[in-house]
Amino acid sequence: TGRDPVNNLKIERDGAVVTVRLHRPHVRNALSGDLLAELLDALRPLDADPEVGCFVVTGSEKVFAAGADIKEMAGRTAAQMAAEDYFGAWEGFTALRTPKIAAVNGYALGGGCELAMMCDLVIAGESAVFGQPEIKLGVIPGIGGTQRLTRLVGRAKAMDLILTGRTMDAREAGSCGLVSRVVPDDRVLPEALEAAATIASYGRAAVTAARECVDRALETGLRDGILFERRLFHALFATEDQKEGMSAFLEKRPPRFTGR
């Protein structure tokens, strides 16, 4: 099973920030198994690199990603899908501990919308389009769409989008909680890179704790979530970065976080 010989990604590193550009223009950045394998092969070592502080995932000006690769799936049987645990490997993406920012221009449909939702921040251009149109293909979202979208935007809008397959524009996606920031189209990547550099400048332990706490809020009851938060808050006092951050504030100077 040879990989797609074409590179499906373009990866660039600028200091602590790594930008991954999905690059399958002939199929509107459809997310094939090969693309995912390439993505994980590239990001796993960077995720383990203490010098890397944030990932930015982006597409082209016209399309973030038009979904899972329909051609790849179309002929598969249920038994094959189950045996391969098709889409199961995406859990490798959510397991990356480095913060991930989706920088979305154009279409984020199906798996593309699900990929954006797997990221920690979504920065979208005014012309971006989001949707879960799988119902039109005779299936349902399969990379977390029914679960994440419902948690992010609520049942009413999730049902609307998933049952009708309609799309929503960036403004609607911003007002319903799918998108962190809506910016002019040409500001998407600059704002994402700026946010990434900001996040990467903070203490790693605090950033990780913050991500894990916020995500825990979607998964647990309030009492357990608050206890989880308080325990991680206490644990951060074991880091040099906590001492440095608080000393710097009191000494009226900028902090120098080291990740220790």
Q: Bin 28: left if φ > 0, else alpha if -120 < ψ < 50, else beta.
A: left
Residue 84 bears catalytic tag: no
Q: Which stretch binds ligand HXC (CB under 6 A): 95-103, 131-139, 197-205, 206-214?
A: 131-139
Residue 109, interface with ligand HXC (CB under 6 A)? Answer: yes
Residue 107, interface with ligand HXC (CB under 6 A)? Answer: yes
Closest residue by beta carbon to ligand HXC: 110
Local structure of residue 154 (DSSP, 8 states)? -
Residue 111 bears catalytic tag: yes
Residue 134 bears catalytic tag: yes
* Rounded least distance, CB 89 to ligand HXC, Å: 13
The CA distance from 24 to 20, in Å, is 13
Residue 174, interface with ligand HXC (CB under 6 A)? Answer: no
Residue 57, interface with ligand HXC (CB under 6 A)? Answer: no
Rg (CA), the chain: 19
The CA distance from 74 to 102, in Å, is 27
The CA distance from 130 to 64, in Å, is 10
Q: Of 59, 67, 110, 111, which residue is the catalytic one?
A: 111
Q: Which residue has tokens 């799936």?
A: 73
Q: Of 66, 68, 124, 170, which residue is the catalytic one?
A: 68
Q: Of 112, 114, 174, 200, which residue is the catalytic one?
A: 114
The CA distance from 4 to 205, in Å, is 37
Q: Which of residues 17-36 bind ligand HXC (CB under 6 A)?
A: 27-28, 30
Q: What 3-state DSSP class applies to 44?
A: helix
Cβ atoms of residues 16 and 197 within 8 Å: yes
Residue 219 bears catalytic tag: no
| Residues at the interface with ligand HXC (CB under 6 A) | 27-28, 30, 63, 66-71, 107, 109-111, 133-134, 137, 139, 141-142
Which residue numbers are catalytic? 68, 111, 114, 134
